[in-house]
Structure 1
Amino acid sequence: MVDIGADDLGELERFAGGILASMQPAERRSLFRKVARTLRTGQQKRIARQENPDGSRFAPRRRGKDPVPGGYAVKFLYPSGGSGEPRLVLMHSWVRQGALLTGYDVRAGGLRSFEWRKVVRWLPVGEGEQNKGAGRIRRPTIRQRAMFRRIRRSGVMLANASDQEAWVGFAGRVAAVARIHQLGLFDKPSANAAEIRYAMRELLGFSAQDRAMVLEATIDHILAGADDA
């Protein structure tokens, strides 16, 4: 959580602390709500740039292991996604990447991925269903997307205030995940995987740009109130 309290405002206190102290609680709460939203916007933009508060770049994500190619066709029953019967899957060329089996699904007519643990039953592959090019599938090119695209959304990154402070942070499971990256802690990438140490990536932090944005929002609020008086 990034926290700006009325008693610990730094530069903001030097410029506007006296005026803040003289405000009524309701007015101060209104100001801190604006500050919280301003701060959240700054955090979201910085995360989108993949930067820590000091301007350094986030550590890149780990590169996954190369998939293991399957040198034969496979055939199995797999849950259809509804309450109906499992569907039949026949894959000629495929690769195994962690818990996923990815390859050309003959019946679907395209590249598909399936979880090994969800396979209902493996079936024998007939001689006519084998293919000469099994195992020669090329690894799909996956576009490297920016990390934390979901975590920076306004519905996930929360912003709120009281008459004493403004804050930006996360809650529940998202907070636990954010803390792992924020502090560079150990965690399991998946339920059956071994623990690894994640690189420290400061999702929340108070940068010089954030400080300037908060100060500007506060002064704008005070000037607007003076104009209305």
Structure 2
Amino acid sequence: MSEPDLQALETWVQPLIAKLTAGERRQLARDLGRDLRISQRERINAQQNPDGTRYEPRAALRGQAGGIRRKAMFNKLRTAKHIKARVTAAGVQIGFVGRVARIARVHQYGLRDRVEPGGPMHNYPRRELLGLTRAEQTHIRDKLIEHLT
């Protein structure tokens, strides 16, 4: 989801959320956080960016026995242990915690990083692990309307 889309969603939601009590906002944020964390996990499992495109596959490992590992990327990153939802009355944040946050950031933005400690540098392709799809935006809107009624 692009920054203007997020701002438009926030502009639309802000007056509605302001009418709720702090406890109601926290409950709504908790429900949305849980739902979004699950949908992010499922999208990472499907190896898709928020726009629906597939993640760029791993580069071939030249000169190494066995070549590329064939299992899906980010198997451990998508677990509840690493994807956390932080809930307050002001909102909800979905993100990675601990040492894996650095790995996730490198892939999220397509940065340059070491393959392993002390190893060679590599330009990682952009693989958006976290982001809102159109379906998730609709879910947020519907959940908010449902909560207000």
TM-score range, shorter chain: 0.7 to 0.9
1:28 deviates by: 0.7
How many residue pairs are counted as aligned between the two chains? 145
1:12 deviates by: 6.7
Larger Rg: 1
Distance in 1, matches of 2:123 and 2:10, equals 37
Distance in 2, matches of 1:143 and 1:188, equals 18
Query: In the TM superposition, what are the counterparts of 1:1-229 in structure 2 within 5 Å?
Result: 10-11=8-9, 14=12, 17-67=14-64, 97=65, 144-223=70-149
Distance in 1, matches of 2:39 and 2:85, equals 12
The answer (yes or no) to whether the contact 2:37–2:85 under 8 Å persists in 1 is: yes
Q: Which runs of 5+ in 1 are unaligned?
A: 3-7, 68-96, 98-138, 224-229
Q: Which runs of 5+ in 2 are unaligned?
A: none
Distance 1:9 1:183, change over 3 A: closer
Deviation digits for residues 72-102 of structure 1 (CA, Å, limit 9, x no counterpart): xxxxxxxxxxxxxxxxxxxxxxxxx4xxxxx
Distance in 2, matches of 1:58 and 1:165, equals 29
The answer (yes or no) to whether the contact 1:181–1:198 under 8 Å persists in 2 is: yes
The answer (yes or no) to whether the contact 1:37–1:160 under 8 Å persists in 2 is: no
**Identity among equivalent pairs (%):** 33
**Bigger proportion of residues as helix:** 2
1:60 deviates by: 0.2
Deviation digits for residues 169-193 of structure 1 (CA, Å, limit 9, x no counterpart): 0122111110010111111112242
The alignment partner of 1:196 has SS state of: strand
Deviation digits for residues 177-224 of structure 1 (CA, Å, limit 9, x no counterpart): 10010111111112242111111111111221111122222223223x
Distance in 2, matches of 1:142 and 1:25, equals 50
- Structure 1 range deviating more: 169-178 or 209-218: 209-218
The answer (yes or no) to whether the contact 1:38–1:217 under 8 Å persists in 2 is: no
TM-score by length of 1: 0.57
CA RMSD of aligned residues (A): 2.4
The alignment partner of 1:172 has SS state of: coil
Distance in 1, matches of 2:68 and 2:108, equals 26
Distance in 2, matches of 1:167 and 1:34, equals 12
Distance 1:17 1:219, change over 3 A: same
The answer (yes or no) to whether the contact 2:58–2:68 under 8 Å persists in 1 is: no
Distance 1:12 1:193, change over 3 A: closer
Runs of 4+ off more than 4 Å? none
